[in-house]
Amino acid sequence: MERLSDDDLDESAKIHRLTFPFAAISQLGLTVTERYHASLLARDDLVAFAAFERSRLVGFCFGGTARDVEGAFLRDNLSFIASQILARPLLLTQPFIRQRIGAGLRFLRPQFASGSSAPPRPEERADIEAVRSFTLLYVAVHPAFQRRGVAKQLLEHAEQHARSEGFGRLELSVYLNNTRAIEFYEHAGWQRLVQDGEWLGFMFKSLH
């Protein structure tokens, strides 16, 4: 499997917007999403794998040890984001964007990019800090190419990479209403991380 490259960014951004339509980055438009992917690719604490069918990018996966990538991107690109919003004032009618702005750009808070909420507090993570974790930030497959094993290949590749880099565990967070992805991960051997009897969307897979 190949690594995602700068040449793939226009397509990866399109897939991002199709597969995460309600995410803040997607709502901000293709240009922002493409720039976001470029910022992820430029990080040395993330790797990105790409799946192709007949030379067409059909899926990607970002993972690594990075935290708060979305917040870092938004902080570093505030004026650009503001210009995009001003150029498309209709964005302000989107409840999601309004909510973010109304909260004083609270979307700058740390979070797992694909997750439903903040990651576990340090004390809650005590049990998972003993091993190095490789976090999957995004796994996405173009809707026209889903249910053909593309994500399975991406996951297997990410897992292989994490093992070879000495990580003991994979982890991710998923929106609680993303039942499709949850079923997919469970099917691939992932478990829910239940904290105080409650599941907040965090999942893990031990590599031992």
Ligand X SMILES: CC(C)(COP(=O)(O)OP(=O)(O)OC[C@H]1O[C@@H](n2cnc3c(N)ncnc32)[C@H](O)[C@@H]1OP(=O)(O)O)[C@@H](O)C(=O)NCCC(=O)NCCS
Neighbours of 143 (CB within 10 A): 10
Minimum gap (Å) between residue 122 Cβ and ligand X: 24
- By CB under 6 A, name the one of 3, 56, 106, 147 that touches ligand X: 147
Nearest CA to 73 out of 44, 104, 26, 39 is that of: 39
Quick one: how far is CA 24 from the chain centroid? 12
- By CB under 6 A, name the one of 95, 149, 166, 189 that touches ligand X: 149
- By CB under 6 A, name the one of 146, 156, 195, 207 that touches ligand X: 146
Does residue 150 touch ligand X according to CB under 6 A?
A: yes
Nearest CA to 141 out of 50, 58, 23 is that of: 58
In this chain, which stretch among 39-47, 80-88, 103-111, 173-181 interacts with ligand X, using CB under 6 A? 173-181
Does residue 152 touch ligand X according to CB under 6 A?
A: yes
Nearest CA to 26 out of 110, 144, 107 is that of: 107
Quick one: how far is CA 131 from the chain centroid? 21
**87-106 CB burial, b ≥16 within 10 A, e <16:** eeeebeeeeebeebeeeeee
- By CB under 6 A, name the one of 4, 50, 97, 151 that touches ligand X: 151
Residue nearest to ligand X (CB): 151
Please count the residues of this chain forming the interface with ligand X, following the rule CB under 6 A: 20
In this chain, which stretch among 31-39, 88-96, 158-166, 174-182 interacts with ligand X, using CB under 6 A? 174-182
4, 49 contact by CB (below 8 A) = yes
Does residue 114 touch ligand X according to CB under 6 A?
A: yes
138 conformational bin, left if phi > 0, alpha if psi -120 to 50, beta if neither: beta
Minimum gap (Å) between residue 141 Cβ and ligand X: 4
| 11-70 residues near ligand X, rule: CB under 6 A | 19
Query: Six-digit token pair at 132?
Result: 């190095």
Q: Which is nearer to ligand X, 148 or 163 (CB)?
A: 148
CA distance 81 to 98: 14
Residues near ligand X, by CB under 6 A: 19, 114, 138-141, 146-152, 174, 178, 180-181, 183-184, 187
